[in-house]
Amino acid sequence: MKINFFKIFLRTFLLQIFWNYRKMQNIGRLFVVLPVLKNLYKDNPDMLKRAIQRNLDAFNSNPVMASYSLGAIIKQEEKIAKTEPVRLAGEERELRAISISTANTVASIGDRLFWATLKPFSLLLLIITLYTVQVYTFKNLETPTERVFAAIGAVIFSLFVYNVPALIVRYKGLKDSYNGTEDNFYGLIKVNWNRIIYALKTTGQILTFGIFVYSLYINFAGEGLSADLLTRTALLVSFLVLSIWTKKLNIPNIYLYIVATIIFCAASFIS
Amino acid sequence: MLELIIACAALALLEMDTTYLGQFLFSRPACTGAIMGYICGDFFLGLQLGVFTELLFIDFVPVGGFVPPSGAICAGIGVILSTYFNMDIYFSFFIGLILSLLFAFVEKALRKYRSKLLPSIEKQLIEGSLTPSSLIAQSFLVEYMAVFIFVLIMITLFGPAFCYIDGNIPKSLHIAFKFSYFLVPWIGLSMLFISFSTKPKVD
């Protein structure tokens, strides 16, 4: 059967539309594979109902990398459609096994690669690009209006940095997993994901350190030594140490900011 | 008033990208802030609020069923409050952040509501009395309206309330909020550095 991968690819963008605590992305999964199921069972409504039912099983994965699971599911569905009735239950169990193992594995890779690495990396590149076009977001808002288009370009660039790899993985994942086998874990081990994550993270750390130092320079350079500067610097260093400490305790930084605001408010009233 | 409603509608649409529609990162705070800033007439204010929000929210990773506070809501509401109600950026950022925490509860309630509906929906899907496409359209509409109404209510509550008390806010309070806002990018950059750590996480 000829699969319209582009149609399925477009449908993957709605994978999370009915996200629920009971079966997570199950409705989204059904929506993605439904055209294939309809094609496979166009002359057999009872089998179509059964196929819909088994594709309503719990499903949860990373939305970008889920295509590595969905392609394998579609392939197995094709196999089920050709299976004799006596072996049907066995192949359905196999589908469940494929779905669980691939969804969990790609979720782990996808969350680390896209949410925890590429998204912050693209933010870092946005800040660097803004600095390059002399838009100092950390310092002031009085930026010349002619720099608006350069700043818009920087935002678009950061979107490209994230979306180009995400779209490639989303589309290629469908094809690779559809054409893959158990031996190459449905195309997943064709790419060394850990190496990519490691390279991006290492580059990210170096660039972040650079941008931190440069930000300090553009914010504090030229200021004479004064009580105000010393107070700001001391508080800044204290909160940087606190932020590292709270991170170790798994406390998100927004709570540190809220606590800082409350402390400053209390201090301002006392003084 | 119409412009304000359009801004809230645009923010609700951008927020849909967080989970339900595409995940193209239009809902990333830096992008939402910039777009909302452009719509509301102060691009650089939106961009700064957006970048600051994203830096502060960097340690939230939406894995599994975890619902993090919405960075898009924080940046978007901050921009609307700053531009339409002349709220100082350090106040609007703080209010946006608190509302983003509140919005996480709304999002959780919506997910629980969908969980309750699931058994009957599955039955209808299997029987063929409901198609996934119409279900998705309805679900999108409900989610969009919920976000839109949340944003509109919060803006109409906090905007005029701020205008009412604005003149009476002590100067010392301005300084306190200004200073904690000054800390945001630095805390964020240190978090960004840590987020790129290659060391395995020990719990």
| Joined tokens for residue B142 | 């409900």
What tens digit of pLDDT does each residue of B9-21 get? Answer: 999 999 999 999 9
Closest residue to B25, CB basis, from A16, A162, A212: A162
How large is the angle between the packed helices B2-19 and B71-84, nearest 10 degrees? 170
Q: Which residue has the higher pLDDT, A145 or A176?
A: A176
- Provide the pLDDT for residue A141: 63
Q: What band does A220 get if pLDDT is binned at 50, 70 and 90?
A: confident
Flag whether residue A11 sits within 8 Å of chain B, measured between CB atoms.
Answer: no
Report which of B65, B3, B187 is spatially closest to residue A254, judged by C-alpha positions: B187
Average pLDDT (A124-150) is: 81
Cα separation, A241 vs A261, in Å, equals 17
**Given a cut of 50, is residue A268 above it in pLDDT?**
yes
Flag whether residue A199 sits within 8 Å of chain B, measured between CB atoms.
Answer: no
Q: What is the pTM of this model?
A: 0.92
Report which of A119, A117, A106 is spatially closest to residue A25, judged by C-alpha positions: A106
What tens digit of pLDDT does each residue of B136-194 get? Answer: 999 999 999 999 999 999 999 999 999 999 888 999 999 999 989 989 999 999 989 98
Q: What band does B201 get if pLDDT is binned at 50, 70 and 90?
A: low
| Joined tokens for residue B189 | 């950059």
Average pLDDT (B90-97) is: 96
| Joined tokens for residue B113 | 């509501």
Query: What phi and psi, each to the nearest 5 degrees, are found at residue A26?
Result: -65, -40
- Provide the pLDDT for residue B63: 76
Q: Which residue has the higher pLDDT, A243 or B152?
A: B152
Average pLDDT (A134-151) is: 76
| Joined tokens for residue A245 | 């400490």
**Given a cut of 50, is residue A92 above it in pLDDT?**
yes
**Interface-testing mutation among B48, B56, B103, B147, with chain A (most A C-beta atoms within 10 A):** B48
- Provide the pLDDT for residue B200: 60
Q: What band does B86 get if pLDDT is binned at 50, 70 and 90?
A: very high
Q: What band does A219 get if pLDDT is binned at 50, 70 and 90?
A: confident
Cα separation, A64 vs A62, in Å, equals 6
Report which of B58, B190, B87 is spatially closest to residue A122, judged by C-alpha positions: B58
- Provide the pLDDT for residue A3: 84
% of chain A beyond a pLDDT of 90: 65
Closest residue to B195, CB basis, from A120, A152, A269: A120
- Provide the pLDDT for residue B203: 46
Please list every residue in chain B whose beta carbon sits closer than 8 Å to the beta carbon of residue A130: 47, 51
Three-state secondary structure call for residue B36: helix
What tens digit of pLDDT does each residue of B103-126 get? Answer: 999 999 999 999 999 999 999 999
- In angstroms, the first-to-last Cα distance of chain A is 77
Question: A49 vs B57: CB contact, 8 Å cut-off?
Answer: no
**Given a cut of 60, is residue A117 above it in pLDDT?**
yes
Sequence ranges of the domains in chain A: 5-102, 224-271
Question: B128 vs A49: CB contact, 8 Å cut-off?
Answer: yes
Question: A120 vs B135: CB contact, 8 Å cut-off?
Answer: no
Question: B192 vs A250: CB contact, 8 Å cut-off?
Answer: no
**Given a cut of 80, is residue B64 above it in pLDDT?**
no
Local structure of residue B68 (DSSP, 8 states): P
Contact between A78 and A72 under an 8 Å Cβ cutoff? The reply is no
Local structure of residue B28 (DSSP, 8 states): S
Distance of CA A62 to CAs A52, A77, A159, A172, Å? 22, 21, 19, 15
What tens digit of pLDDT does each residue of B20-44 get? Answer: 998 999 999 999 999 999 999 999 9
- Provide the pLDDT for residue A133: 83
